[in-house]
Amino acid sequence: MELLIVRHGESVANADGRMQGQSDYPLSEAGERQAALLGRFLKNAGLRFDAAYTSPLTRARATALALTTALGMPEAQLTPDLSELHAGSLQGLTRPEIDASFPTFMRRGLSELGDFSEYGGESYDDVQTRVARLKARWHEAHSSAGHRVLVVAHGGTNFHLVKALVCDPVPRVMSLKFGNCTATLVRMRERRGQHLGEIVFHLPVDLLGGAAGEGLVGVF
C-alpha cells in the first residue's frame, strides 16, 4: 500500500498567521491555486488512487475536492480522525497574541510540542490514539499490493501520521516540514514481520511553481 499524504492549501488563517487547530477556515485564493497546481501535477504524473480520505474541515475538503476532480475520481471520504489537532484556547490567535496571553507555549521545548491539553485542547496521547485508528483502518481496507490511497489533512495531523507510519518506536520529536499543499508519498512494506513505511518523496508545492505558504506550522 502507498499513501499520498497532502497538507491543505493555504487558508485565510494561514495568510493572517493564525493558529487554526480545529477552527474552520476556507482556503485563500493562493490556497485554491496551490490545490489546482498539485491536482494538475498528479494528473500529469499519471498517479491513480484506489480511495481518498479527507479531514472534514473546510480547508482540507476544498483541497481534496480540487485533487479528486483533477484526477477524475469520486470525492474523498470525510474522516474526522484526520481533523487538525485541537489547540484549545490558542485557536484563532496570532503569534503575538499567543505570546502575550500564553507565553509558556512559546517557550516550550521540542519534546513538549504537539500536546495542547494545558490550553484546553488535545493531549499528545489523544492524537496518537487517533493516528493508531487511521493506521488500523487503512491496513485493513488497503493491504492489497498496489493499493494507493490519497489522504488530505493538516500540518499537525500529517506530522503525527507520517512519523507513526515510518518510525518504530514513534519518536516524540521529528524534523519534517509540511508547507501548504506539501505531498508526501509513504510506501508501506512488510519488513521482517513488521508493517513499516518508507518516505518515497516529500514534495513542496513551490517546486511545482507555487508559493509554499507557512501558516503557524513552525509554532507547532
| Mean residue pLDDT across the chain | 92
- What's the rounded mean pLDDT across residues 166-182? 92
Residue indicated by cell numbers 517557550:
107
Q: Output the pLDDT for position 213.
A: 59
For residue 187, give every residue at least 6 positions away whose Cβ sits within 8 Å of its Cβ, in sequence order, or none.
Answer: 1, 2, 197, 198, 200
Residues 50-79: what's their mean pLDDT?
98
**What are φ and ψ of residue 67, in 5° steps?**
-75, -45
Per-residue confidence at 220, pLDDT binned at 50, 70, 90? very low
**Which of these, 141, 154, 122, 165, lies nearest to 50 by C-alpha position?**
141
C-alpha angle 36-39-40 in degrees, rounded to nearest 5: 90
Tell me the average pLDDT across 70-79. Answer: 97
How do strand 183-191 and strand 194-203 relate by DSSP bridges? antiparallel
Least confident segment among 33-42, 105-114, 122-131: 105-114
How confident is the model at residue 112, as a pLDDT? 84
* Residue range 93-113, pLDDT digits in tens: 999 999 999 999 988 888 888
Active site residues: 8, 84
Average pLDDT over residues 155-167: 95
The stretch 68-94 carries a mean pLDDT of 97
Mean pLDDT over residues 162-182, rounded? 93
The per-residue pLDDT for 44 is 95
Going by C-alpha positions, the residue among 130, 153, 144 that lies closest to residue 190 is 144
Q: What is the pLDDT of residue 201?
A: 96
Would you state the pLDDT for residue 214? 53
Lowest mean pLDDT, pick from 23-37, 47-61, 160-174: 160-174
Alpha-carbon gap, residue 168 to 186, rounded angstroms: 15
